[in-house]
Amino acid sequence: KAGVTQTPRYLIKTRGQQVTLSCSPISGHRSVSWYQQTPGQGLQFLFEYFSETQRNKGNFPGRFSGRQFSNSRSEMNVSTLELGDSALYLCASSLGAGGGYNEQFFGPGTRLTVL
């Protein structure tokens, strides 16, 4: 079974631009979660989608948004990029609806650099 894939793997943008990252979950998985990892803040939860609905959202500004398609693929968008948005963005997929007992499978991440 193919693992979680993320595209692109690397991105370089300038301040003020916007960016869209893509995540394809493991076949059959309906939950996709997004995380941001920075040296200063570590791993932080961005949002989670299940069956095209956002179920949880972390403490990030409205510039960070996402969506999920009917095939469970998910995208996240960051508008008006700031230098502090430079990070590794990871997505993870899970089989079930939640309740906390689902193993998460992580993609390789997209490394975003904002200049």
Partner 1 sequence: KNEVEQSPQNLTAQEGEFITINCSYSVGISALHWLQQHPGGGIVSLFMLSSGKKKHGRLIATINIQEKHSSLHITASHPRDSAVYICAGSMEYGNKLVFGAGTILRVKS
Tell me: does residue 37 bind partner 1 (CB under 8 A): yes
Tell me: does residue 103 bind partner 1 (CB under 8 A): yes
Of the candidates 77, 81, 63, the one whose C-alpha atom is nearest the C-alpha of residue 34 is 77
Q: Which helix (H) or strand (E) holds 75?
A: strand 74-78
Instruction: State in angstroms the smallest separation of the CB of 48 from partner 1.
Output: 5
Tell me: does residue 8 bind partner 1 (CB under 8 A): no
Point out which span in 59-67, 68-76, 77-85, 86-94 binds partner 1 (CB under 8 A). 86-94
Answer for the pair 16, 31: CB distance below 8 angstroms, yes or no: no
- Give the whole-angstrom CA distance, residue 76 versus residue 2: 21
Instruction: State in angstroms the smallest separation of the CB of 57 from partner 1.
Output: 9
Answer for the pair 82, 114: CB distance below 8 angstroms, yes or no: yes
Tell me: does residue 23 bind partner 1 (CB under 8 A): no
**Collapsing DSSP states into helix, strand and coil, what is residue 80?**
coil
Residue ranges binding partner 1 (CB under 8 A): 31, 33, 35, 37, 42-45, 48, 50, 55-56, 58, 88, 90, 92, 94, 97-106, 108-109, 111
